Structure 1
Amino acid sequence: MARNLFGGTSADVAESVSGARIPGAVGTVWDGPSEGARQITDLTDSSGAPVLQLVADNRGMVPPFYGPASGAERLWVDFGAGRVGLLATNTGERLVQHQAAADPHQDRAYTNERLLNYVPINGSDLNVPAGSDWARWIVPSTADINGSAWKLKTADNTDYTRLRNSGALLIDTIGVRAALCIGAPAYPANQTVVNVTNSKASTTTTASVFRVQGDGSVISAGTVTATNVGSARLFSGPNSPAVPRPGDVWVQYG
């Protein structure tokens, strides 16, 4: 710890029992007022030179000196009339330095260290333990179609991509033409990239009503309707359709 400054003020004087100043008096320094106190000899003057004896000046004033390296806040001096307590005189300066320091208590560093894997700070990496959820949003009701568990907004308060409390994901991009891009590098042809099921979402269920496979195949359990498809039907086999309709296609084989 840093040494603290003592003496050098109008209140720091060497006095006799009667209260008279004693110019040139030699005093001792202690760490307490009791008989069991320890004498302090680890002292320096204002320039940092060791102080062998604490000597009052020619006016009886106690000169400024630095206390022990242990950083004592109070010392007791004795010039023959009993021990008198001295308080450190640089407390105000140290307080100002303390307030100006970036992290004087190291509490910010401690908080950043403790929260690093819970609430990441700007520019940090988040390490998620295997088998765990990084964060969970408990919504008031899945029937709430207006509230959002997560929302992207711009400075003018415009809503863009939102994750509703109902679980719906609304994707609105800002200045990007492709609203949703799903990467599927080196996906096997039989591996599903997009899977819509008739039950709760799952990565393993086969109860799919619509799938996009790794090779680009689109598999639908229901009718595919589009302006360029119309009402055409496709048949294959040895016999033509029993009740053909205009636009039907029959591929004969066998």
Structure 2
Amino acid sequence: MRHLFGLSPADVSVEQVGDDMKLRPGSTGTAWDALTGGTQLTDLTDLSGTPITTVTSDTNSVIGFYGPDGVTNLYLDFGFTGGRVLMQASDLGASITDLQTNKLDIAADLRSGGTITGNLSVSGRLSGPVSPYGVIAPSRNTPAWRPALISHQFQSGHGWTAQGAASSNLNNTTAFVRGTQCASITTDTAGGSANLRKFGMAAMDLTDKAIRLICRADDITKISSLNFFVGSSSLANNFKWRLWEVAATSQLGSNT
């Protein structure tokens, strides 16, 4: 945005002659970014928007022009005794008023649920009402899981066996996510069922308990379904959770 310079009663080209200040209409000056030295500013326009590289006062010695984009202070040099003089953009008052108005409009919009377009950068945490969302950006980035009370991590001596698998590695030390190893099985290519099982475990009271299962599949396109069973001896009575199913069927079943 270009800012307006000049056009106030004080913005005239004058030269000191003895003890007097003489108006110098039609004087041509250059614009600079510093009181001494610096770089000449040539990206200027006159009041009609025509590009100019120097500033010329009118027949009444009045100075008026637009400065480079975003510049609010510059120095003019008409070659008179005393050197360059500081000029500040004369439209800053209107800019400040516009900023205050727009800022209040935005604040009002936010209070009443308005919309901000474009990118929004936030330093620190962005918080909302306690209910239902609470803090929008919480400090933790992982679920607050309860620690496991009973855990089977397929470490050495875990006692689980593989059935129906084309191959298995019950002590796999290359693909584990807990401890130092896991149990892995590879299904056949004929659509057969493969499973990991452990019968004869000590009885556990699962009342009001949650079960957490962590597993990994190298290629889910090769899986027809993935089921998890918990039951009595040899699964005579059991509950089944279907973790993955290609067809849309029930995800929970039982056999009692």
Instruction: Choose 1 or 2 for highest CA Rg.
Output: 1
User: Is TM more than 0.5 here?
Assistant: no
Give TM-score scaled by structure 2 length: 0.43
Flag the structure with higher strand content: 2
